[in-house]
Amino acid sequence: MIKQTFFFILSFTFYHSFSQPYTGSGSVTQGLGIKTITNLYSACSNGRVSAVGTITSTDGKVWTLPAETNFLNAPKLPDLYNECTGVKPINLAAVNLNNVPIKVIDNVGDTITAYLFGDNYFELYINGVLVGVDPITYTPFNSCVARFKVARPYTIAVKLVDWEENMGVGTENNNGNLYHAGDGGFIAQFSDGTVTDTTWRAQTFYISPIENLSSVIELPDSTRSTSSASTSPSCNGNCYGIHYPISTNWTTQSFNDSIWPKATTYTAATVGVNFPAYMNFTNAWSNAKFIWSSNLILDNVVLVRKTVPATYTFTGNGNWDVPSNWVNYSVPPSILPAGKSISINPVKNGSCILNTTQQINPGATISVSADKTFLIPGNLIIQ
């Protein structure tokens, strides 16, 4: 009896000596949570068990593990590739988009097709509307196609979850290593030219496994950095987790995502996507990059956003203030607000002549197509 007590004190001292004060804004948990759902998706025999759980942080808050999701009540996104449902086209040409319903966000707008892959789970919102969720929460790896009708400017918001087997410590069994820290990754390409890249914003809301709390640092650009943290710690079932609350309006157009860091891009090799759900359709994502927050392994719940600007496109020849020179007869406002853009692309051997005063506010853009002529006898004010 005395021997056991002595051992307990020793092991407590061991962990205590390695922990350091945490001064960040997150909530700290330690160890494993309690399972509340045994398996969120059990329809496929060869997938990992995707449990859901809860855990209480040292400040008394209760957190859902690995994340709160709408998996049980939201429409599932159509399959691009899903071995559990038998949808397994060999390439993009074999995909039938006629079976993909179009979610109407705006009655007047563009119909956009998106190809999406996430490791492991994602939810797609357009202007705050949940278009659908990834039909497989953990594994096997699958990919999705989504169609929606929306008017520019519009906001894409995606919740990304790198699922876990050891609830609360961000790890899974990997070839016998019971506490392997898995990684995430997300790639998407939209038919209007929008692709995942560093123009997206990305913030992490759940970091684990963490062995040393002082390795989680908040940088001036709001990055919740773990660049000095080990991605293969030895804390196993005693690791820390850092949790941050998610604003209820994070999917809306009005949410200010400039408070988040820019997304970090990763190569396909780093994400490790050598399976058909990705490889059969590499041309679907030809211009896109894999994105995540700053740590592909330790960040497990990541929100990403991109606002696609309204674009005014000059395709005629001659003066700026002639409506027929613009797509949809739409001349840009003389003060172009943030989130909107102007594209100068006059007819071959023609030119665009700015015969007025045009102001470009911060957050708005103007671009001239290659080998096209843009003359400025008026005033162009770029702020």
CB of 243 to Ca ion, least distance (A): 14
Q: Is 300 in the site for Ca ion (CB under 5 A)?
A: yes
User: Given the complex with Ca ion, which of 182 and 233 has the nearer CB atom?
Assistant: 182
How far is 26 from 252, CA to CA, in rounded Å?
A: 23
How far apart are the C-alpha atoms of 236 and 312, rounded to whole Å?
Answer: 54
Binding mask 159-198 for Ca ion (x = CB under 5 A): ---x-------x-----------x----------------
Task: From 18-26, 27-35, 82-90, 141-149, give the range in contact with Ca ion by CB under 5 A.
Answer: 141-149
Query: 106 to 135, contacts with Ca ion by CB under 5 A?
Result: 119-120, 134
Question: Please, are residues 110 and 151 in contact by the beta-carbon 8 Å criterion?
Answer: yes
Smallest distance, Ca ion to C-beta of residue 231, A: 9
Q: How far apart are CA 185 and CA 366, in angstroms?
A: 31
Q: Which is nearer to Ca ion, 272 or 318 (CB)?
A: 272
Q: Which is nearer to Ca ion, 165 or 257 (CB)?
A: 165
How many chain residues bind Ca ion (CB under 5 A)?
A: 9
Angle at 284 between CA 279 and CA 290, to 5 degrees: 70
For residue 366, CA distances in Å to 30, 39, 357 come to 50, 50, 14
Closest separation in Å from C-beta 207 to Ca ion: 9
Nearest distance, CB of residue 187 and Ca ion, angstroms: 13
Give residues with Cβ within 8 angstroms of 214, minimum separation 6. Answer: 20, 21, 22
Give me the least distance between CB of 183 and Ca ion, in Å please: 6
Q: How far apart are the first and last CA of the chain?
A: 75
- With CB under 5 A as the contact rule, which of the stretches 75-83, 137-145, 257-265, 313-321 interacts with Ca ion? 137-145
What minimum distance in Å lies between the beta carbon of 356 and Ca ion? Answer: 51
Q: Is the peptide bond before 153 cis (omega within 30 degrees of 0)?
A: yes
**Joined tokens for residue 9:** 């004190």
State the Cα–Cα distance between residues 50 and 165, nearest whole angstrom: 7
- Residues of this chain that interact with Ca ion (CB under 5 A) are 119-120, 134, 136, 142, 162, 170, 182, 300
